[in-house]
């Protein structure tokens, strides 16, 4: 096991003082939550040819980083959440097949009663090409994959979202677990996103050696995208037999991008275009007064267009967790970890 990876998600919120419909959402204001789990994170890049402005989705070139999963332990209390993550060792057979990526991945997620945000800062270097047509056979045989250690991706993005029906739907119940959803509830949501994405390589990102036909004009080795999008969506949590929950949300729409590209022969391409933005979250589990067990996933998808290639980033996080909640008498009555009494 590789030890301390990062201190993730140090965030403060004061949403505990906000009032919800107590028949729908139960709060645990004087309880501490101890949480442990395993997490996968990765920033994938998929390229598809474009012909006459139409993306050929059946011919993707899929770059994946070889990342190690991590285990974590954390504490949530009075709006303060601190989590420590540790990398797991990579199996030698996987390392020989995929290589080993270098990466820094910082994510901050905040879920308020109505307002929340996601912040991503990521740097990944070293990718391999996943041959989708022979995916199962390659896994069974352990076939070594074509590596691109020269590929470097950098992503910085901010998403701010608003939940219209925060009285009867709680993101915190599904993802933070300092609240519990007691009844089925949903809400329309609106999301605003700003992003910067940069992809660099020593040679062209496009390659035709696995049967995908990219035009010679698509041979760029550096691309930068600046993006903006406002995406509407919907979120809903289903409660089954009081304690089982299934929560899902999705938002998406067309946004605006500005692109700067450079080829090895110093040809450049700049201009405005549209891109597709999508954000999805899901969580399932079993939630009682003292225990929470379950799994969650978050996906941030961008499909950015150039004249001859579509670049799609898949920013995925998957977690499985177990948490225990217990009452802390010495903080009873305070609305946040940093002090201040609740108003009667």
3-state secondary structure of 99: coil
**pLDDT the model gives residue 45:** 94
**pLDDT the model gives residue 74:** 84
- Average pLDDT on 268-293 reads 93
What are the tens digits of pLDDT across the range 138-160? 555 555 578 888 999 999 999 99
What are the tens digits of pLDDT across the range 166-210? 999 999 999 988 899 999 999 999 999 999 999 999 988 887 666
CA distances from 58 to 212, 234, 254 (A): 10, 29, 21
Share of the chain above pLDDT 90, in %: 46
Task: Tell me if 219 sits within 8 A of 206, measured CB to CB.
Answer: yes
Q: Is the pLDDT of residue 237 over 50?
A: yes
Task: Using alpha carbons, select from 29, 97, 125, 96 the residue that is nearest to residue 328.
Answer: 29
Q: Is the pLDDT of residue 82 over 60?
A: yes
Q: Which of 73-77, 109-113, 239-243, 263-267 has the highest mean pLDDT?
A: 239-243
Task: Using alpha carbons, select from 251, 230, 75, 229 the residue that is nearest to residue 171.
Answer: 251
What are the tens digits of pLDDT across the range 20-76? 678 899 888 788 889 999 988 899 999 988 888 888 887 788 899 987 788 888 888
**pLDDT the model gives residue 174:** 92
Task: Tell me if 307 sits within 8 A of 301, measured CB to CB.
Answer: no
Q: Could you give the count of Cα atoms lying within 13 Å of 142 in the half-sphere of its Cβ? A: 6
Q: Is the pLDDT of residue 303 over 70?
A: yes
Place of tokens 């998929």: 46
The neighbouring-strand residues paired with 35 are 74, 323
Q: Could you give the count of Cα atoms lying within 13 Å of 285 in the half-sphere of its Cβ? A: 23
Go through the chain and tell me how many residues it has.
Answer: 344
- Cα distance between the two ends of the chain: 49
**pLDDT the model gives residue 80:** 66
Residue-wise burial string across 95-115, b where 16 or more C-beta atoms lie within 10 A, e elsewhere: eebbbbbebebebebbbbbbe
Task: Tell me if 185 sits within 8 A of 166, measured CB to CB.
Answer: no
* Largest distance between two CA atoms of the chain: 70
Four-residue CA torsion sign, 195, 70, 16, 281? positive
**pLDDT the model gives residue 296:** 94
Average pLDDT over the chain, rounded to whole?
Answer: 83
**pLDDT the model gives residue 330:** 62
**Token digits for 178?**
């300092």
Task: In whole angstroms, give the CA distance from residue 305 to residue 272.
Answer: 10
Least confident stretch, 153-157, 272-276, 301-305, 323-327: 323-327
> 4-331 has which fold?
Lipocalin (2.40.128)
**Token digits for 289?**
């007064």
Task: Tell me if 204 sits within 8 A of 148, measured CB to CB.
Answer: no
- Tell me 56's DSSP state: -
Task: In whole angstroms, give the CA distance from residue 7 to residue 18.
Answer: 28
DSSP 142-199: TPPPPEEEEEEEEEEEEEEEEETTTTT--HHHHHT-SEEE-S-EEEEEEEEEEEEEEE
Phi-psi region of 255 (alpha: psi -120 to 50; beta: other; left: phi over 0): beta
**pLDDT the model gives residue 129:** 86
Domain boundaries, the chain: 4-331
**pLDDT the model gives residue 2:** 39
Task: Using alpha carbons, select from 41, 35, 61, 187 the residue that is nearest to residue 105.
Answer: 41
- Average pLDDT on 211-223 reads 82
Task: Using alpha carbons, select from 326, 25, 32, 17 the residue that is nearest to residue 180.
Answer: 25
- Average pLDDT on 7-28 reads 59
Task: Using alpha carbons, select from 99, 97, 166, 155 the residue that is nearest to residue 127.
Answer: 99
């Amino acid at each position: 096991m590789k030890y301390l990876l990062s201190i993730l998600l140090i965030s403060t919120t004061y949403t505990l003082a906000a009032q919800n419909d107590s028949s729908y959402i139960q709060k645990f204001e004087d309880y501490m939550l101890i949480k442990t789990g395993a997490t996968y994170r990765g920033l994938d890049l998929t390229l598809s040819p474009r012909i006459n402005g139409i993306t050929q989705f059946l011919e993707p070139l899929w770059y994946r980083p070889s990342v190690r999963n991590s285990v974590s332990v954390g504490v949530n209390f009075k709006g303060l959440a601190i989590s420590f993550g540790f990398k797991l060792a990579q199996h030698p057979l996987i390392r020989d097949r995929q290589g080993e990526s270098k990466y820094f991945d910082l994510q901050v997620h905040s879920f308020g009663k109505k307002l929340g945000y996601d912040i991503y800062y990521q740097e990944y270097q070293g990718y391999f090409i996943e041959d989708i047509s022979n995916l199962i056979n390659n896994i069974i045989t352990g076939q070594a994959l074509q590596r691109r250690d020269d590929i470097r991706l950098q992503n910085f993005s901010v998403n701010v979202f608003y939940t219209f029906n925060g009285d009867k739907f709680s993101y915190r119940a599904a993802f933070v677990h300092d609240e519990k959803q007691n009844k089925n509830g949903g809400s329309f949501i609106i999301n605003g996103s700003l992003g910067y994405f940069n992809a660099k390589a020593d040679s062209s990102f496009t390659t035709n050696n696995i049967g995908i036909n990219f035009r010679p004009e698509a041979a760029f080795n550096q691309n930068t995208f600046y993006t903006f999008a406002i995406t509407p969506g919907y979120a809903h949590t289903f409660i089954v037999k009081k304690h089982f929950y299934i929560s899902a949300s999705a938002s998406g729409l067309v946004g605006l991008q500005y692109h700067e590209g450079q080829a090895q022969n110093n040809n450049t391409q700049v201009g405005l275009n549209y891109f597709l933005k999508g954000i999805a979250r899901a969580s399932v589990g079993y939630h009682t007064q003292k225990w929470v067990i379950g799994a969650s996933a978050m996906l941030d998808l961008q499909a950015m267009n150039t004249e001859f290639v579509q670049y799609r980033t898949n920013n995925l996080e998957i977690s499985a967790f177990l948490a225990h909640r217990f009452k802390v008498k010495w903080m009873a009555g305070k609305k946040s970890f940093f002090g201040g009494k609740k108003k009667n």
